[in-house]
Amino acid sequence: MRIGVPEAAGAARRACGLVILIACGVLAARSAHAANPQSYGVDWVSSGDKAIDSTLKQTSQLETLRKTAPTDPFGLIARARGDVPRLQEVLQSFGYYDGSVSITIKGKGLDSARLADTLAALPKGSDAHVRIDPTLGPLFHVGRIEIQGALPEGMRQNMHLSPGAPAVAADVLAAGAGLQAALQDAGYAFAKVEKPVAYEVPARRTLDLTFRVTTGPRVRIGAIGFKGLRQVHETLLRRRLLVHTGELYDAAAIEKARQDLLSLGLFTTVSVRLGSAGQDQRVPIAFAVQEAKRYLIGVSAAYSSDLGGSLGVNWADRNVFGNGQQLTASATAINLGGSATTGLGYDVSLGYSIPDFRRPNQTLGFQVRALRQALQAYTQTGETAGTSLNRKLSSLWSLNAGLSYEHEIIDQENVRFKYNLLMLPVSTYYDSTDLASPLDDPTHGYRISLNVTPTFSYGTPGKTYIVLQGSIATYYDLHELLAGDPAGRSVIAARVLSGAALGATQFSLPPDQRFYAGGSGTVRGYRYQSVGPEFADGNPTGGTNMQAFNLELRQRVGTNFGFVVFADSGGVSSPSGSVYRLGVGTGVRYYTSIGPIRFDIALPTRRRPNDDRFEIYIGLGQAF
């Protein structure tokens, strides 16, 4: 809007110009004096609600830019003035529409005529004290809710918002989003619920809301196409699809189908594009994909003071014949030093897998492996060949069954044993952590595994036995207890491990089939396999039963760093006796896009003469 001003006399205009020049000179002088950055501290007065206080601090530029973006005194005043409406919007988003925010600098209000002079007069290097005092006022509630537009019967309840509820902005917006999602899941592919128009009623301390809804036609799924395919065969995706032509349009089901295609590991992105509904009320769907690189090559490395270092290279072709068949190969040098090793070792494997074998979510795999371990407990050289069938039962459960043959030669206590083992491993796995990769940081849920392996050892000696192994790990986010603590920053992790061999005595089991404790996988602080019965020379014997318990506190610090403190306990039992130990330690984490890099140091609480003073573990991903 423009406001007209009458023509002024020449003298008056010249006088006005003189005033402007003088004012510019004063501002220039002040700017020259205030050229140096003005450091400041921020004192927050609590609003009485920790969640609101946390959001205010995250929103305030006075707080977030204090260390990263230095400013001069005039910039500080401008930053504070900009924070006032910004922080008031935070109060309103929590339902406090009569709330206010007061900001003072050196005890003076932002409108004080002497504030700039006060800051300019501060001695060089001294801080300006900023005080932020929010006042909530009365909490507003939702008043009348009006929906403009036709709405199918029973749909309104999907808003999950009713008069009398606190007028929290996130809840109000979620109500509209929930209604739109429910409509799209019910066949209304083009339904749209616009952001609500809110009318504040101060007298009643309520917020009246109006949602405008455009439902559109109810449609079914039309032709389904794929765009972007190059090396992946379309037949694989069509067999895999969870939605089909002719079904009622369901946005949630289509999203589930999109995620399922992405889980194949063949694509970097999968998106869904809708066409226009035809006269038959069917809407065509196209899945647009971007294929991932077919060949992968990588290196791996890890270190622990007991097992020493390992260094390996791996290669994969993840689409051998166009239907997602994967060929993988890896070669790793192990036992590079270490107090629990006696020489160099290797681990070489070759694998081939066929996805969706006979049915969706079922994978047939083949693997051959050659392994040599030179450990204090024994030296093992073995070759294994096997096949397995893995079926994903649901988003949480999977089942695996296999058949494998192993030939191995083991030297223990100057005695050589030769074994031929036929194994029938069956395992089930449950995971409710909702993570795309096992290297990601779990913050909630459970991981449960159970393995049953009937084994036939033929030749000399001959024996039939069953090996049972199980584990339960759980993760608890302390955000649920510590109000104001951001989610995923403080996590308690706990795990229980147990194993037993049935149908065999301690020494009728091959040494590598016995149970040991100690090391990064069981009881940190003790050398690998060192917790348990021993021979007269102090070398590990191994046992027929094992239990271990791990407890960790994981704390994120800043963006990329974190630390843990932990305690591990466990032991091994056999007819000759039982040995249990406790180890404690701490570690740091550096979080990367592929998972946290782990550095742990652990101490034995009951050190024996042959125990190390401490153990160090370096690897990728959390300990469990």
DSSP labels, 145-183:
EEEES---TT-GGGG---TTSB--HHHHHHHHHHHHHHH
Domains 141-214 and 220-291 are alike in CATH topology: yes
H or E element at residue 80: helix 73-93
Q: Where are the domains of the chain?
A: 24-135, 141-214, 220-291, 295-620
Q: What pLDDT does residue 479 have?
A: 85
Whether omega for the bond prior to residue 461 falls within 30 degrees of 0, making it cis, is yes
- pLDDT for residue 83: 96
Q: Give Cα 14 distance to the centre of its chain.
A: 67
Bridge partners (DSSP) of residue 171 are none
pLDDT at site 578: 87
Decide: helix, strand or coil at residue 18: helix
pTM of the full structure: 0.75
Superfamily name with CATH number, domain 220-291: membrane protein fhac (3.10.20.310)
- Which residues 6+ apart lie within 8 Å of 561 measured at CB? 588, 589, 590, 591
Which pair of tokens denotes residue 143? 């008043």
Q: How many CB atoms lie within 10 A of CB 407?
A: 14
Identify the pLDDT of residue 546: 97
Q: May I ask the CATH architecture of the domain 295-620?
A: Beta Barrel (2.40)
- pLDDT value at residue 437: 80
Residue 483: predicted pLDDT = 64
Model confidence pLDDT, tens digit, residues 359-383? 988 999 999 999 999 999 999 999 9
Strands (E) in 459-544, as ranges, are 463-477, 490-502
Nearest to 521 by CA among 488, 563, 570: 570
The pLDDT value given to residue 103: 96
**Residue 244 CB coordination number (10 Å):** 11
Dihedral sign for Cα 532, 535, 541, 543, please: negative
Take residue 281 and report the two structure tokens written for it: 């009320």
Q: Which pair of structure tokens corresponds to residue 520? A: 């990064």
**Positions of the chain with pLDDT lower than 50, given as ranges:** 1-35
What CATH number is given for 141-214 in this structure? 3.10.20.310
